[in-house]
Amino acid sequence: MNSKAKGEISEGHVIAHLLKLGYSVSMPFGDNQRYDLILDDGDRLWRVQVKTARYHRGCLVFSAASVNGFTGRKTSYRGQADLFLAYSPHTDKVYRVPVDDAGLREVWLRVDQPGTSAPKTTIRWAHDYEMR
């Protein structure tokens, strides 16, 4: 499956999840925005970039930057989106990470217990970011 199809599947899961939780969702016209949808929580409108989180070494990982297909240049979403909503096929859950709290390249959310030598103080636990 190509990356566009994976992204569309993740968008579908995220939108369905948000609607089940009672949020209003809008989508911008065209593909020229740096966000995929608008989340209305009743008090505020949030620009959302939808991501697909892959399972890797006990973590859910997704890109926090877009990549230009011609130049390979990575561009952060800071200032252009408010939230990442990442769907994980591994857990079948949606995770909410503020763009300003994410790294500039990737986001790692731990699902499994780490090895004994791993530092425990810097772990971002996936369950803390679940969209409920």
> Mind listing the pLDDT tens digit for each residue in 41-72?
999 999 999 999 999 999 999 999 998 889 99
Its pTM surpasses 0.85: yes
Q: In what order do the strands lie in the sheet with 106-110?
A: 54-56, 59-63, 106-110
Contact of 60 with 94, CB cutoff 8 Å: no
CATH for 3-129 (1.20.210.10, 3.40.1350.10, 1.20.140.10, 3.30.420.40):
3.40.1350.10
Residue 7 binned pLDDT confidence (cut-offs 50, 70, 90): very high
Residues making up the chain, counted from first to last: 132
55: left (phi over 0), alpha (psi -120 to 50) or beta: beta
Q: Dump pLDDT digits (tens) for 93-116.
A: 999 999 999 989 999 999 999 887
